[in-house]
Chain A
Amino acid sequence: MRWKDGLKEGVALATLLLVFVGLPWALRAYENGQVRRLATGRPVFTVYANAAFGTWTTTPLVGWTYFWRKPEPAHIQVRAGQPFVLRITAVDVHHSFGIPQLGIGPYDVEPGRFLKLELKVDEPGLYTFMCYTVCGRHHEKMMGTLEVVGEGQ
Chain B
Amino acid sequence: MLRTLTRLRLQPLQSAAIARPLTQPLLQKRWNSTQPPKDNEQQAAPASSEGDKPKRKPLSRISVSKGASPGEMHRRQYKGIFDFKVFALFVASGVGIYWFFQSEKAKVTQRREAEANRGYGKPLVGGPFVLQDHKGGIFSSEDLKGKFSLLYFGFSMCPDICPDELDKMAIMIDEVNKSNPGQLQPLFITCDPARDSPEVLEEYLSEFHPQILGLTGTYDEIKQTCKAYRVYFSTPPNVKPGQDYLVDHSIFFYLMDPEGQFLDVLGRNLTAEEAVAKIREDIKTWEPKAVRDRKSKGWFGSFFY
Answer yes or no: do A and B interact: no
Give me the interface of B with A, judged by CB distance under 8 Å. none
Give me the interface of A with B, judged by CB distance under 8 Å. none
